[in-house]
Amino acid sequence: MLDIRQIPIGALLGLIITTLLVLSAILAPLIAPYGIGQIVGGVWEPATSEHWLGTDNLGRDLLTRMIYGGRITIFIAALATALSFILGSVLGFTAAVVGGWFDTIMSRLVDLLMSIPTLIFGLVVLSVLPSSTLTLILVMGILDSTRVYRLARAVAVDINVMDFVEAAKLRGEGRAWIIFREILPNALSPLVAELGLRFIFAVLFLSALSFLGLGVQPPESDWGGMVRENKEGIVFGIPAALIPAGAIAALSISVNLVADWVLNRTSDLKGGRGNA
């Protein structure tokens, strides 16, 4: 079993912060002190014992907004990551094992998509698509699946040429056994670490889009949208916009620390079991 004392301090901290943020997102309606759209005071009031983080540009409780905003950020980023992962890894594995024209076409298409910066292509597409949560998830997930595809394909191609896979083919094993029993267990740990990085990317991408006014649309707002709502305050020396921005940073640093640790712990294929 995993011993908590063996986790490096950075990863432990990352794990704790990530857990807290995710929990507060899930339990948002239970722990939020006020209603999401409820105006409770003046504009940009400083922190008090009633409003721990002060109020926002319309006089709403900032802590409440943060809790609900985190919910939206994490929800959309998680779904987009799941989509990009399922799409990317299924296509990547298939391309590696099947090879031939399927591999060639898929790989060229991915090369093409990756030759345009994600943000730019995202903006181009969002200029014609309706602004909705579903659109965001689809656009983010599909664009990001190119990176997962590349990784999954590379990992699977590497494993596919190893002698133990050849031994299984010589034994006469079917394609399903080879993918699920020989390749997948060995591809899992680089993919799991990548999952963390893709999630961070999704959080940052979504926040950037919302900040630019092209992501989550008012009245709902995620953390990136909250930065946009409160950015005018900066000029008057009111740091309200920095709170959601800081939360995004805290979330992505925490996940990064955990992903780094997972990658280091399991990067060695010959190292055997993940919990050795």
Partner 1 sequence: MGSSRILILIAQRIAMGVLLLFAVSALIFAGTQILPGDVAQSILGQAATPQALANLREELGLNDPAIVRYFRWLGGVLTGDLGTALSNGRDIASSLEDRLGNTLFLAAIAAIVSVPLAILLGLLAVRYRNGAIDKIISGLALASTSLPEFFIGYVLMLFFAVKLQWFPSVSTVYDTMSFVEKLRAVALPATALTFVVLAHMMRMTRAAILNVMQSAYIETAELKGLSPFQIIRRHAFPNAVAPIVNVVMLNLAYLVVGVVVIEVIFVYPGLGQYLVDHVTKRDVPVVQAVGLIFAAVYIGLNMIADIVAILANPRLRNPR
Partner 2 sequence: MPDAGGTETLLDIRDLRIEATVYAPGEDPRDVVIVDGISFKLAKGRVLGLIGESGAGKSTIGLSSMGYGRGGVRITGGEIIVNGRDIRKLGPRGLRKLRGSEVCYVAQSAAAAFNPAHKLMDQVVEAALRHGTANRREAEARAVELFRKLSLPNPETIGKRYPHQVSGGQLQRVMTAMALCSKPDLIVFDEPTTALDVTTQIDVLAAIKDAIADTHVAALYITHDLAVVAQVSDEIMVLRHGKMIEHGETRQIIEAPRKDYTKALVSVRSIEHEEKKPATQPILRVEDVTAAYGGGVVRVLQDVSVDIFPGQTLAVVGESGSGKSTLARVITGLLPPLEGTVSFEGRPLPPRLANRTKDDLRELQMIYQMADVAMNPRQTVKTIIGRPLEFYFGMRGAERDRRVAELLEEIEMGKGFADRYPAELSGGQKQRVCIARALAAKPKLIICDEVTSALDPLVADGILKLLLDLQKREDVAYLFITHDLATVRAIADSIAVMYQGKVVRYGTKTEVLTPPYDDYTELLLSSVPEMEVGWLEKAIAGRRMEAAGN
List residues binding partner 1 (CB under 8 A). Answer: 112-113, 115-117, 119-121, 123-130, 200, 204, 207-208, 211-214, 224, 227, 231, 234-237, 239, 241-242, 245-246, 248-249, 252-253, 256-257, 260
Q: State the CB neighbour count (10 A cutoff) for residue 258.
A: 23
d(CA 220, CA 18): 23
Q: Whose Cβ is closer to partner 2: residue 103's or residue 182's? A: 182
Report the nearest approach of partner 2 to the CB of residue 267 (Å). Answer: 7
Burial group, residue 250, by CB count within 10 angstroms (0-12, 13-18, 19+): middle
Q: Whose Cβ is closer to partner 2: residue 23's or residue 167's? A: 167
By CB under 8 A, the residues from 156 to 175 that bind partner 2 are 162-164, 166-167, 169-173
Interaction mask 173-202, partner 2, x per CB under 8 A = x-------xx--xx----------------
- Asked if 128 touches partner 2 (CB under 8 A), the answer is no
Site of tokens 């919990």: 275
* Residue 172 binding target from partner 1, partner 2, none, CB below 5 to 8 Å by type: partner 2
Q: Half-sphere exposure (CA, 13 Å, Cβ side) for 140?
A: 33
Q: Whose Cβ is closer to partner 1: residue 23's or residue 124's? A: 124
Under DSSP, the state recorded for 220 is: S
Burial group, residue 67, by CB count within 10 angstroms (0-12, 13-18, 19+): buried
Estimate to the nearest angstrom the gap between the alpha carbon of 182 and the chain centroid. Answer: 28
Token pair in block for residue 61: 């409780």
* Residue 167 binding target from partner 1, partner 2, none, CB below 5 to 8 Å by type: partner 2
- The residues binding partner 2 (CB under 8 A) are 6, 162-164, 166-167, 169-173, 181-182, 185-186, 264-265, 267-273, 276
